[in-house]
Structures are given as structure tokens and as C-alpha cells.
Amino acid sequence: MVDIATRVWNHKWKIDPIVRSLIDNDFYKLLMCQSVLRNHPKTEVTFSLINRSSDIRLAELIDEGELREQLDHVRSLSLSRGESTWMRGNTFYGKRQMFTPEFMDWFEALRLPDYHLEKRDGQYELTFQGSWPEVMLWEIPALAVLMELRGRAVLRDMRRFELQILYARAMAKLWEKIETLRDIQDLRLADFGTRRRHSFLWQDWAVQAMTEGLGDKFIGTSNCLIAKNRDLAAIGTNAHELPMIYSALASDDQALRQAPYDVLSDWHEEHDGNLRIILPDTYGTEGFLDNAPDWLATWTGMRIDSGDPIQGAEHAIKWWKSRNEDPSQKLLIFSDGLDVEKIAELHRLFAGRVRVSFGWGTLLTNDFRGLVPNDGLKPFSLVCKAVSANGKPTVKLSDNPNKAMGPADEIARYKRVFEVGRQNPQSVIV
Amino acid sequence: MVDIATRVWNHKWKIDPIVRSLIDNDFYKLLMCQSVLRNHPKTEVTFSLINRSSDIRLAELIDEGELREQLDHVRSLSLSRGESTWMRGNTFYGKRQMFTPEFMDWFEALRLPDYHLEKRDGQYELTFQGSWPEVMLWEIPALAVLMELRGRAVLRDMRRFELQILYARAMAKLWEKIETLRDIQDLRLADFGTRRRHSFLWQDWAVQAMTEGLGDKFIGTSNCLIAKNRDLAAIGTNAHELPMIYSALASDDQALRQAPYDVLSDWHEEHDGNLRIILPDTYGTEGFLDNAPDWLATWTGMRIDSGDPIQGAEHAIKWWKSRNEDPSQKLLIFSDGLDVEKIAELHRLFAGRVRVSFGWGTLLTNDFRGLVPNDGLKPFSLVCKAVSANGKPTVKLSDNPNKAMGPADEIARYKRVFEVGRQNPQSVIV
């Protein structure tokens, strides 16, 4: 068992890399990467770091040299023999050889491309440019590096026992959550917390605690390295970057309207079963479902990632019924801003009516609220998103206008094309 | 930093000795041992384990084989070269060569004598017979072994992360106490918790936490091994066993009345300064002080170890004044049933009027109250006392009739001889 306090202490005098492996990354990034490598290997994209919590002045907290050191370390990583074996030999979602030999050959040779970093107004501008399948793999490591360096900065002046008590309290806090979750019958829950984790060691601990504390209720982790090391299922399907980039590449409004369905059509060809999960909110859930082709209603489930989750789930159930599908056979995955109370409420409301599952992120792997002075470790909203593809800007609307991103005129165009009406703003916790 | 949870986990499958060294013992036992070796080397004594908490059925909790294994291990210990060097070379209470070469030669050759163990009515009868200087060194290790085996028995079926959370909560609990104590100006406090510690590793952790958290307010530990390993002062003076055995050896009532003063007369010859601390309560504080010779009032201070500590301290102040001593120059050491609130209260009431110090025991090194089901780790009142000397029974009265021990007729005789009137019973926490 790792003594986390000692290790954090050690960070002060020796380098302990934040990202330790090319598969210290979310499973769905690898799945999407394989799809992108096949369907859009030449697309040029730019990903950019966006700190939605402007009060957290990252460039004042984090030393630029340290940041470069960690990012350079990520660039030095390549797939190890054992990691390759795990990816080639493992069964993911009941399927062998999920990753094709072609993809694996490419991935074994991969080094992540260069980054561009500068300081502006107390924030870091961090961008990645290059071919889509390469650049997309930067998202999760970049976020994890920034999150962990921010934590290290806040903890830098703490003494050994203070650190030990901090982690003792955080452990007790997480364990109380686990004790609450344990009482929910038929719960199914996965760790989705890599991108905003407090640290690698902490995520690793949290996953082990969930494994012991929740047993079968804990179905796995999105983190491939931890899934491999802890012998757990790797969990995930697809994300907004697919419709965002397909849409940016669309030549006109007609093609734009079709783009999100093209994504799923490509996905449909490649995957079946539990990997067929609709993520409907990129440009407004309502319009997306109204205009969806019937074959999409046969998919296994849907992920609710923005807006009011209760409304979103009710909407999904109504939609399945309208397409003559039995909602009780469908899977709803909640993954937005979850904590124990919301998980319990959503489970109470929807278990039985649909198959319910949860992707628990930031408040699983980074809930240090109230544990240091001035709440210096409170979670904040950092993302790393595709901002352009082949020179054209990307847009995301989601079901929460506070999560929208892209140039204003393009946002207006997308709203018109996707017939998005009035949306209720929801505060973005993380 | 030791990962205590892992170590406790390891206990389940391999032997981790509870007592790791002959100096994993209280400093005052060694000091008294030296005095006894000089003054009463041939006295034959019997020490016996007494569990005042009869609801804790130790023989049902603790396996006899395990208990014997641990006790046998204690018998196998001998002073190491480094330990001997520390005792010979160290400065204790400002004095070099506190331990004489004669004593050290004897101690280096020492192995602890045999024990007698049997089960009766769900309890263990554990007794030690032999020469006083040898047998007396069993008291602390015997208690530590029983306390830790009880803890291990309660924790036996807990899983790894449950254990880690248990210790995380216990650490957070102790640290909150330290944070409270930190705010008390001019506090002086020592660890007196060896005999009823939860475990060796836990005591060691608690001492380190106090060192970091309290700085100069933490003046040291009674445990010689921890003092040595952690480079702290070893703390302690003398205990009830001296007057108890001197009194048992007294040939008649006249000699009995004199015996407690003979103890201090021997001690006066051997020690000065902060080692001259009166322990007045063995046969009632009031009578003891009323009849004390004047030279005793010149001693540095007094230890309050039973009865109402406020009354005891007021009585001490009144007595010093009556003997024309300035109480503000005197040291009062409180050491009975302390926790943070009582420490804060006593400090508030007496700091400045006297020099105040605290010997914090069980609720420093074994406060796991409320942390496991059915409060299975709550502290309990286990002692190991001299019950006879040269065939004659010993008696202790103290200022709390609930702590009295000895045959009823002898208790009556001692009460008559020492003119002990009515006493207020106080509940014995630990």
C-alpha cells in the first residue's frame, strides 16, 4: 500500500512524473483514436487548454519550468511491452482484439507531438497542433499534469504530518461516500476521474478503495493504466470531440446537420453492445433525438453529460418509447458533476425504469474541499478541447449554455442549424 | 513514514513482535530499577495482571498461543549495543551518567524472568515472580502485549482499506486534539502512554505527530525506545510500586507509617532537580502531606495521579504555602485520565500559580473510541501491579477508593495507620 503522504513529501525534492505511461489515459480516447486513425488520419486539429475557473490563476501557482518538465516527460513516453500485451490480449466489453493490429502497430511507434506554451494574464495558453489521432491523446495527460501541479503548488509548504493528516481526512471523506453508496441496491458505477484527479497516486488509491468498498457495484475505471495494474475493466465509449470535429469539417449547413449522425454511423460499423452509447447533447439533446434515424434508437443506451440530468433522462425515456423501444432494456449513463447525493437521487428516480450506470469523475478523484486553508484545493473547471479542425473552428453547445464554446458567430449558426431553442443555464461545478 | 495499515494487515500472516526491545519500557521503570537494585536487590516480589474492566473478556478475545509467543519473545530480548550506548552516553534531566556503570553491567546481562499464565473465568491470570529489580521490568511490556493483542483480535476480520480508513480516522482525531493543544500558551506535555497504547507503531506515530504539531510544548516521551529512535527526552520519575513494596516490607505499624517517607529519602539521595517529584497519593494525599518531613517540601514538584485533580492541586499549593515554599516555583504534573478538555481546564486553572506539566497516557496513545462497531477498541483499565513482597501482601489506597487494591483486612489496617478518612469515589476511565 502506497504511503501517499510520504510520496507527496518526496515531490518537493525529486521529480516524480505525473503521467507515467502512454496508457495513463482514458479508455475512450484510445477507442476514439482508433476510429479517427481509420476514418480521418489526415485531419489537422488544434486542441487547447481552457480554464473556465478564471479565479484560479494557474500561471501564478505553477512554475513554467516544472510544467515544461512534466509535459516533456509525457512526450518521452512510449508504449511498453506489457502495455501493448494488455491492449492486444485483453477482452474489452466482451470483445477480443478490440484494438486492431494496424492500430497497435501505429500506437507502439507513437510519441506525442510537440506543445506550445505561453503565459497570458495569469493563465497558461497551452495548445497542441497536428494530426487528429496524435493530438487527441494529449487531452487527458495535459489536464492531469495541470491538475496535479496545481495541487503540488498548494501543498508545497505543508509539513509531513500535516500532509499525512490531509490525506487521512481525504481518505475518511471518500470512504464515507463509499459507505453511503454501498447501501444502494444494484448500483453500477465507474471511475471517470482521470482528467481532473488530484494526483495519479490518489486516483489509484480511490480506485482500490472503491474496489474493496463496493465490490461488484464498482464496474471499472476509465484509466487504462490503473485498469491494467489493478486488474479491472477499462470503461468508456465516445466523447464530444467526434461530433465537434466532424461538424467543423462539414462543408455546408446541410452537411453540418448530418455530421453528428455520421459520427455514430461510423461508430455503429465499428462497435456493438455496450459500446453503442449515444452522447446526444453536443448540439442540444432535443433536436438531436427528434431528427435521429431509427437505427440509433436500437443502440444500447445514452450518456447524460450536461443540462438537468432528470430532464435529460426523462427525455431519453420518452424518446425510446416514441421509437417503440423498451426503456427498461436501455442503459442510461450519468456522468456530469456527480457526487453521492446526486447519484443516490438519480438511482432512486430511474433504477428499474431504465438500466442506470454512473461515470463518477472529479468528486471521486479530487474532492479535497474544505481540507486546506482558503479551500486552496477545491476542484475547478479545466478542459482541453479541439478548437479547430483543418483550420475551421469547432463549436460545442451542450444542454447547458454555460458549457458552450466556439466563436460567437459560429455558435449562432450552429444554434440555427440544430434548431436549439432557449436553454436553462446550470452552474458548472467542475 | 510507516504505513500503519499495511503493517497491521501483515500481522495477520506473520509475527510482528509487540515489544521490540528491552528499553521499549517506561523511563521511570529503569530509574526505579536502578534504585531497587541498589537498595533492595534480594526482595522477592510477585507482580500480577489485573483487568479492572471485567466486561472485556481477554481470554475469549486473545489466543493463548499468541499471547505466549509474544511473552516468550519479550523473554528473549536483551540490551543491544546501541541501546546500551544511548543509556550510558545520554544526558537525562540534565545529568550525565544517570545510569551507573554497575547498573548498566547488570542490565546488559539481563533476561526477563519466567511468567505464569492461566485462564480463569474468561480472563488471563498472568503473574511474575522473582527478584524485585527483574520482575518489575515486566509491568510495561506485559500490559503493552495484552493491549495490542486485544486490538489485533478486534481488527482481525477487517479488510485492508477498512483498516486504512480506521487509521486515517484515528490520525485525524488525534491531530484535532493536537490542534486544540497547540493554542494553549506555555503548555508542557509528555507522552505517558506506553502501557496502554494501541500498538507500538501507533505510539511511535503519535509521538512524531506531537513533535511536529506541538514543537516545544511537547517535552518528550516516557518510552525509552521511542525517545532514543526519535531523539527526544525520556521522561518520568517514580511510581506507586516503591511505597507499596517498602510498606509491605514494614515490620510493624510504626515502620509502615514511615515507609513512604523512606522511599523518598532513598530517592532524595539518588536524584535532584526535576527528578524530585512527590507522588503523594499511595495511601491518601492528605495524611501523607500533613505528616511529611520539611525536607520533602523543598522537592521540585508533585504528581497528581488519582482523586479530583483540582482538589489535589489546591491541596498541594496549600501545603507548600504552609511549609513556606513558593508554589509558583513548584512543578505540578497531572497524569490521571487526561484528555484534551481536562488538560485545557487544568492548565487554565493552575498555570502561573504553579508550573504545570502533563503526562498524557491512554487517550493519547489509544483513543479509538467510536471507530469500530460496538466500540470494540474502547480503552479499558488493565494494570500490572506488585501484589506481594517477601510473601507479604501489598496495598494501594490512592485518593480514589475505586483504585484501591490489596486484601480487605490489610486495606483496613492501612486506612487506620495512614488515618485515611472518607474518600470520594471517581470513575476509573483507564
Contacts of B371 in chain A (CB under 8 A): none
Determine contact, residues A182/A344, Cβ cutoff 8 Å: no
Residue B409 backbone dihedrals phi, psi, to 5 degrees: -65, -35
Q: B interface mutation test: which of A171, A181, A208 has the most B CBs within 10 A?
A: A171
Mapping DSSP onto H, E and C, the string for chain B reads CCCHHHHHHHHCCCCCCCCCCCCCCEHHHHHHHHHHHHHCCCCEEEEEEEECCCCCCHHHHCCHHHHHHHHHHHHHCCCCHHHHHHHHHCEECCEECCCCHHHHHHHHHCCCCCEEEEEECCEEEEEEEEEHHHHHHHHHHHHHHHHHHHHHHHHCCCCHHHHHHHHHHHHHHHHHHHHHHHCCCCCCEEECCCCCCCCHHHHHHHHHHHHHHHHHHEEEECEHHHHHHCCCCECCCCCCHHHHHHHHCCCCHHHHHHHHHHHHHHHHHHCCHHHCEECCCCCCHHHHHHCCCHHHHCCCEEEECCCCHHHHHHHHHHHHHHCCCCHHHCEEEECCCCCHHHHHHHHHHHECCEEEEEEECHHHHCCCCCCCHHHCCCCCCEEEEEEEECCEECCECCCCHHHCECCHHHHHHHHHHCCCCCCCCCCCCC
Contact A212 B160 (CB under 8 A): yes
In whole angstroms, what is the distance from residue B98 CA to residue B271 CA?
9
Whole-number pLDDT of residue B231: 96
Cβ-nearest to A165 among B3, B5, B171: B171
510500586: which residue's cell? B241
In whole angstroms, what is the distance from residue A60 CA to residue A79 CA?
34
Closest Cα in chain A, distance from residue B3 (Å): 6
User: What is the value of ipTM here, to two decimals?
Assistant: 0.82
Closest Cα in chain A, distance from residue B165 (Å): 6
Determine contact, residues A264/A278, Cβ cutoff 8 Å: yes
In this prediction, residues A327-342 reach a mean pLDDT of 97
Q: For residue B87, what are the contacts with CB-CB under 8 A and spacing of at least 6?
A: B23, B30, B79, B99, B104, B107, B224
Whole-number pLDDT of residue A17: 87
- Highest mean pLDDT, choosing among A154-163, B93-102, B349-358: B349-358
In this prediction, residues B67-94 reach a mean pLDDT of 94
Cα–Cα distance list, B312 to A86, B307, B328, B341, B425 (Å): 71, 7, 16, 18, 14
B171 and chain A in contact, CB less than 8 A = yes
Query: Using one digit for the tens of pLDDT, what is the confidence trace for B374-427?
Result: 999 999 999 999 999 999 999 999 999 988 999 999 999 999 999 998 888 888
A1 and chain B in contact, CB less than 8 A = yes
Whole-number pLDDT of residue B430: 67
In this prediction, residues A316-335 reach a mean pLDDT of 98
Query: Using one digit for the tens of pLDDT, what is the confidence trace for B202-248?
Result: 999 999 999 999 999 999 999 999 999 999 999 999 999 999 999 99
Contacts of B5 in chain A (CB under 8 A): 1
Whole-number pLDDT of residue A423: 85
Whole-number pLDDT of residue B9: 63
In whole angstroms, what is the distance from residue B1 CA to residue A163 CA?
11
In this prediction, residues A202-225 reach a mean pLDDT of 97
In whole angstroms, what is the distance from residue B390 CA to residue B44 CA?
5
Domains of chain B: 4-417 (3.20.140.10)
Q: Which of A166, A198, A130 is nearest to A382 (CA)?
A: A198
B162 and chain A in contact, CB less than 8 A = yes
Closest Cα in chain A, distance from residue B227 (Å): 18
Cβ-nearest to B165 among A2, A160, A171: A171
Residue A377 backbone dihedrals phi, psi, to 5 degrees: -110, 15
Side chain identity, residue A4: I
Asked whether the predicted pLDDT for residue A299 surpasses 90, the reply is: yes
In whole angstroms, what is the distance from residue A313 CA to residue A300 CA?
14
Whole-number pLDDT of residue B423: 85
Q: Which of A317, A310, A311, A312 is nearest to A331 (CA)?
A: A317
Contacts of B169 in chain A (CB under 8 A): 168, 172
Contacts of A161 in chain B (CB under 8 A): 175, 208-209, 212-213
Pair type for strands B218-221 and B189-191: parallel
Q: What is the DSSP string of A267-319?
A: HHHH--GGG-EE-TTTT-HHHHHHT--HHHHTSSEEEE-SS-HHHHHHHHHHH
Contact A165 B159 (CB under 8 A): no
Cβ-nearest to B169 among A5, A161, A172: A172
Closest Cα in chain B, distance from residue A230 (Å): 15
Q: What is the DSSP string of A205-269?
A: HHHHHHHHHHGGGEEEESBHHHHHHTT--B-----THHHHHHHHT-SSHHHHHHHHHHHHHHHHH
533476561: which residue's cell? B111
Asked whether the predicted pLDDT for residue B362 surpasses 90, the reply is: yes
Percent of chain A clearing pLDDT 70 (strictly above): 97
Side chain identity, residue B101: P
Side chain identity, residue A233: A
Asked whether the predicted pLDDT for residue A230 surpasses 60, the reply is: yes
Asked whether the predicted pLDDT for residue A194 surpasses 90, the reply is: yes
- The DSSP letter of residue A29 is H
Predicted confidence band of residue A111 (pLDDT cuts 50, 70, 90):
very high
Cell of A275: 459500446
Whole-number pLDDT of residue A15: 59
Side chain identity, residue B60: E
Cα–Cα distance list, B282 to A315, B146, B148, B396, B417 (Å): 79, 25, 28, 6, 13
Closest Cα in chain A, distance from residue B322 (Å): 47
Q: A13 by DSSP, 3-state: which?
A: coil
Contacts of B208 in chain A (CB under 8 A): 161
In whole angstroms, what is the distance from residue A412 CA to residue A419 CA?
10
- The DSSP letter of residue A115 is E
- The DSSP letter of residue A354 is B
Which residues 207-236 in chain A show a CB within 8 A of chain B? 208-209, 212-213
DSSP H helices in A323-403: 340-350, 362-365
Pair type for strands A189-191 and A218-221: parallel
B172 and chain A in contact, CB less than 8 A = yes
Percent of chain A clearing pLDDT 90 (strictly above): 90
Q: Work out the burial of residue A409: count CB atoms within 10 Å of its CB; fewer than 13 is exposed, 13-18 middle, 19 or more buried.
A: exposed
Pair type for strands A44-51 and A382-389: antiparallel
Whole-number pLDDT of residue B334: 98
In whole angstroms, what is the distance from residue A398 CA to residue A380 CA?
19
In this prediction, residues A395-411 reach a mean pLDDT of 93
Asked whether the predicted pLDDT for residue A14 surpasses 60, the reply is: no
Q: For residue A254, what are the contacts with CB-CB under 8 A and spacing of at least 6?
A: none
Contacts of A175 in chain B (CB under 8 A): 161, 165, 168
Q: Which position has the higher pLDDT, A283 or A426?
A: A283
Contacts of B164 in chain A (CB under 8 A): 1, 171, 209
Determine contact, residues A56/A250, Cβ cutoff 8 Å: no
Whole-number pLDDT of residue A16: 72
Chain A residue with minimum CA distance to B159: A212
Question: Which H or E run includes A412?
Answer: helix A408-417
Closest Cα in chain A, distance from residue B179 (Å): 11
Contacts of A171 in chain B (CB under 8 A): 164-165, 168
Closest Cα in chain B, distance from residue A213 (Å): 8
- The DSSP letter of residue A72 is H
Q: Which position has the higher pLDDT, B236 or A14?
A: B236
Side chain identity, residue B52: R
Side chain identity, residue B247: S
Determine contact, residues B368/B171, Cβ cutoff 8 Å: no
Residue B82 backbone dihedrals phi, psi, to 5 degrees: -65, -35
Side chain identity, residue A148: E
Q: Which of A275, A274, A242, A248 is nearest to A261 (CA)?
A: A242
Whole-number pLDDT of residue B12: 53
Q: A interface mutation test: which of B162, B163, B165 has the most A CBs within 10 A?
A: B165
Q: Which of B351, B311, B312 is nearest to B330 (CA)?
A: B351
Determine contact, residues B147/B382, Cβ cutoff 8 Å: yes
Which residues 3-42 in chain B show a CB within 8 A of chain A? 3, 5-6, 9
Determine contact, residues B374/B367, Cβ cutoff 8 Å: no
Contact B1 A5 (CB under 8 A): yes
A and B: number of Cβ contacts within 8 A: 56
Cβ atoms < 10 Å from Cβ of A348: 11
Contacts of A168 in chain B (CB under 8 A): 167-169, 171-172, 175
In this prediction, residues B129-158 reach a mean pLDDT of 96
Cell of B186: 506555555
Predicted confidence band of residue B1 (pLDDT cuts 50, 70, 90):
low
Cα Rg of chain B (Å, integer): 21
Whole-number pLDDT of residue A280: 96
- Rounded-to-10 torsion of CA B413, B415, B417, B422: -150
Contacts of B165 in chain A (CB under 8 A): 171-172, 175, 209
